[in-house]
């Protein structure tokens, strides 16, 4: 059974007890067992009210949400990302623990906006010159961003892309308008990429990974948020083999998508694949984290 099907079955099994919701919410016009009738319940109750205010205040669109609210779809990766990371926004100790787990040099988490995690991050300026520059819509954005300090005041930005049950078919997304934007940056001698055929990057998920890597490079090149270093984190459940083992671009080679991606980077250490539970594991044992971790374990892990 594929990962998506397993997670859909699990979501339906725990729906009544965990959410106290009968399901039958609409998805593309049809009632579904894996879609909550009350979409707000898709957010963990410990963060729900604050999340809704945060997204509204920052004019961040919800993936397939209705009336400026979240989707009731239980397999939404945007919802999964928020449920895992939003609680860290006002918890410097937890944010520091997570970043230190990724990079042992990090000694403290620093504010990004008014918290230690910013969602649908696009930076302070339009560095890529895309047709739009709006959080979460029609431009390169990252699901979440965090900043850590190491050394003598050095700042490192962590760009976190969250996957849950996604998988991709082989589809060539190379068209002239896109090539005009990204190809010159890919070919730039100081870009993060080795000398690889640019056409290799235009197949998902590599197309998204390419754009996010370019964004990370430009962010640090311009000292956005005073950061001179970056780490591009791909959060993918280890069980999602349909995503991890499907190298959609014939020009990229490796044991899995993470391995294939690392091989095209000049500095592969700036990219990291990690599972959701591994990312949050450093929070175990820290005061007042048990309720969050218990919820995540029941629902996702």
Domain ranges of the chain: 3-299
Question: For the segment 17-50, what is each residue's pLDDT rounded down to a tens digit?
Answer: 999 999 999 888 899 999 999 999 999 999 999 9
**pLDDT score recorded for residue 67:** 64
Question: For the segment 228-243, what is each residue's pLDDT rounded down to a tens digit?
Answer: 999 999 999 999 999 9
List own/partner pairs for 52-56 with CB under 8 A and 24 or more apart: 54/86, 54/119, 55/119
**pLDDT score recorded for residue 64:** 75
Question: For the segment 250-269, what is each residue's pLDDT rounded down to a tens digit?
Answer: 999 999 999 999 999 999 99
What's the CA gap between 75 and 69, in Å, rounded? 16
Local confidence band at 65 (pLDDT 50, 70, 90 cut-offs): low
Residue by residue, DSSP assigns 18-54 as II-----EEETTEEETTB-SSGGGGS-TTTHHHHHHH
- pTM given for the model: 0.96
Those residues with Cβ within 8 angstroms of residue 187's Cβ, 6 or more apart along the chain or in another chain: 198
Q: Contact 55/120 with Cβ under 8 angstroms?
A: no
What's the rounded mean pLDDT across residues 51-63? 94
Q: Contact 230/216 with Cβ under 8 angstroms?
A: yes
Local confidence band at 1 (pLDDT 50, 70, 90 cut-offs): confident
Q: Contact 74/300 with Cβ under 8 angstroms?
A: no
Tokens for 194, please give them: 């080795």
What's the CA gap between 110 and 92, in Å, rounded? 8
- 143: enclosing H helix or E strand: strand 142-150
**pLDDT score recorded for residue 28:** 83
What's the CA gap between 278 and 266, in Å, rounded? 26
Per the prediction, the chain carries an average pLDDT of: 96
What's the CA gap between 150 and 114, in Å, rounded? 20
Backbone angles phi, psi at 14, to 5 degrees: -95, 0
* Residue 62 per-residue DSSP state: P
Backbone angles phi, psi at 230, to 5 degrees: -145, 160
Residue by residue, DSSP assigns 269-298 as GGEEEE-HHHHHGGGTTSTT-HHHHHHHHH
Q: Contact 52/40 with Cβ under 8 angstroms?
A: yes
Local confidence band at 153 (pLDDT 50, 70, 90 cut-offs): very high
What's the CA gap between 157 and 149, in Å, rounded? 9
């Amino acid at each position: 059974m594929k990962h998506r099907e397993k997670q859909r079955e699990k979501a339906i099994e725990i729906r009544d007890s965990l959410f106290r919701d009968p399901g039958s919410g609409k998805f593309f016009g049809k009632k579904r067992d894996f879609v909550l009738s009350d979409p707000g319940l898709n957010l963990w109750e410990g963060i729900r009210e604050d999340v809704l205010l945060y997204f509204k205040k920052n004019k961040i669109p919800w993936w397939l949400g209705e009336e400026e609210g979240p989707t009731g779809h239980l397999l939404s990766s945007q919802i999964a990302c928020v449920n895992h990371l939003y609680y860290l926004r006002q918890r410097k100790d937890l944010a520091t623990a997570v970043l230190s787990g990724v990079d042992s040099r990090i000694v403290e988490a620093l504010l990004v906006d008014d918290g230690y995690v910013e969602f649908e991050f696009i930076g302070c300026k339009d560095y890529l010159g895309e047709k739009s520059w709006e959080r979460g819509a029609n431009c390169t954005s990252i699901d979440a961003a965090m900043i850590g300090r190491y050394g003598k005041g050095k700042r490192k930005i962590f760009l976190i892309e969250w996957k849950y049950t996604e998988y991709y078919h082989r589809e060539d997304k190379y068209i002239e308008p896109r090539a005009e934007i990204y190809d010159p940056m890919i070919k730039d001698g100081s870009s993060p990429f080795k000398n690889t055929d640019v056409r290799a990057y235009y197949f998902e998920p590599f197309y998204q990974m390419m754009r996010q890597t370019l964004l990370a490079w430009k962010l640090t090149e311009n000292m956005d948020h005073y950061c001179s270093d970056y780490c591009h984190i791909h959060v993918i459940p280890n069980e999602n083999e349909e995503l991890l083992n499907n190298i959609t671009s014939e020009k990229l080679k490796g044991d899995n998508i993470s391995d294939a991606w690392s091989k095209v980077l000049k500095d592969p250490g700036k990219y990291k694949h990690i599972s959701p539970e591994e990312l949050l594991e450093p929070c175990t044992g820290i005061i007042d984290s048990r309720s969050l971790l218990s919820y995540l374990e029941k629902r996702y892990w």
